Amino acid sequence: MLQQIQIMAQLLRSCRHLIFASMMICMLSFVLVLFTEMNTWVSAIFFILTIILIIMQLYLNIRIRFDAEILQKLADHPMSDLEQQTQSLDTALVTLKFMPEMKQGRLWSQRLQGCVRLVRWHIGLLLLQFLVLVSIVIERTFL
């Protein structure tokens, strides 16, 4: 299990490049929306979509970085302490209201699947941002 935790921590840390790509797409979208002649309501829709998507990306980035740090700290300790560390982690997260009480005591396989879901959401939102950017270019160029 320790090896899986280390690998997941590395995967989550590698997502830092996704937020950079997301920011670049966001900036390009803003520039195109603000400095091109488009229908006002179309510009407003693209602007609002871009803001919503970047806020969601920033939230996911914070969650992913947080999880990466926690996983790395757990992976740095011997396997014999993992169960005790997991209980301490769950208690701290519930106390801080970062996790509902009903999620305490989950298996590590479930926790790691949750991390993979976060990464998939991050990639999916990046693709949506790219789609919005392409839509802005098409709207600007052809309509």
- Span 74-130, pLDDT tens digits: 888 766 678 888 888 899 999 999 999 998 889 989 999 999 999 999 999 999 999
Entry pTM: 0.85
The candidate with the shortest Cα–Cα distance to 98, out of 70, 75, 135, 122, is 70
* More confident position, 99 or 141: 99
pLDDT tens digit sequence for 128-140: 999 999 999 888 8
% of the chain residues with pLDDT over 90: 59
Alpha-carbon gap, residue 38 to 32, rounded angstroms: 9
Backbone Cα Rg of the chain: 19
Given this model, what pLDDT does residue 25 score? 95
Given this model, what pLDDT does residue 134 score? 94
Q: Is 135 exposed, middle or buried (0-12, 13-18, 19+ CB in 10 A)?
A: middle
Tokens representing residue 92 in the block: 């701290």
Tokens representing residue 9 in the block: 């921590």
Given this model, what pLDDT does residue 80 score? 66
Given this model, what pLDDT does residue 78 score? 66
Alpha-carbon gap, residue 135 to 138, rounded angstroms: 5
Tokens representing residue 119 in the block: 């990464």
pLDDT tens digit sequence for 12-62: 999 989 999 999 999 999 999 888 777 788 888 999 999 999 999 999 999
Q: 28 near 87, Cβ under 8 Å?
A: no
